[in-house]
A and B are shown apart, each in its own frame.
Chain A
Amino acid sequence: VTREAAGPESLDPRPADLRLELTRDANAPAVARAAVRSLCDDLEIGSSQPQTLALLVSELVSNAVVHSGAPIDRPVHVCVGVSESTVRVAVTDAGQGFGEGFAPAIREPTQPRGRLGLYLLDRAARRWGVDHTHGTRVWFELAR
């Protein structure tokens, strides 16, 4: 797994295959999962990836809902781009949830606290990263 400070420019393809603006509440992860599953159906993305994609989208949107630090009325944006070989997802919120000098404190999942979501991201994504150019944007790539 490769982790980078900022994703490639192509992470924000225009037009993206899916763009969502979500209200920052506890239902946002379920709404995002339903949308990416529907996209997988439409694009006939393989059988194991939709579950992994839904999982990682759920983790990043949950992080944005819980840890953003932005005013509650600022939405969470999800952007999904699909190429022949890759699915790219970026989740952006207006806060600074990861803070300066972010380093993932990855722990064994037997511990109830800690960044279990980032542990999952690190295990399952081909590459991922965080940038703070506009709020907090966390992105990842999966093989299609």
Chain B
Amino acid sequence: VLDLGKTYEIETAVEAGAGRVTFVGELDIASAPELQASSLAMVRDEARELRIDLSKLSFIDSSGLRVLIALRDAAAAEGWKLSLTRPTGEVLSIFALTRADEHLPFVEDARP
């Protein structure tokens, strides 16, 4: 059996009072719980505004989509602001397939 090592990285930062979680790699059942926990910890402890950067997302399945939808719902229920930096290329087609892209708070990222 292949040994893949870790297939993702999660980085968190706070900039000007806004939280930023950068997800790099593959979002599935192995990584989705950590993304959810990191994101919720940030809005609990650090900020009322959270950007999840998905520009380096290389794969997502329903486990990952479910976490993004749950975070959207948590933001609405708890009164914090969530935005997502749009992924690129092939991954975007998975969002389109579910029409989740119509229901998630994607923004264009002005950062270089």
Using a CB–CB cutoff of 8 Å, the interface residues on chain A facing chain B are: 20-23, 26-27, 29-31, 33-35, 48, 51, 54-55, 58-59, 62, 65-66, 108-113, 116-117, 119-120, 123-124
Contacts and interface: CB of A to CB of B under 8 A. Distances in A.
Interface string B49-63: 000000000010111
B69 A111 contact: yes
6 contacts: A27-B4, A31-B1, A48-B90, A51-B91, A55-B59, A66-B29
B98 interface: yes
B111 interface: no
A27 B69 CA distance: 22
A35 B2 contact: yes
Interface residues of B, number: 26
A26 B61 contact: no
B22 to A, nearest CB: 20
Given A59-B62, A62-B29, A120-B62, A22 B69 contact: no
Contacts of B28: 29-30, 58, 62
Interface centre among A20, A30, A34 (most CB of B within 10 A): A30
B2 A31 contact: yes
B70 interface: yes
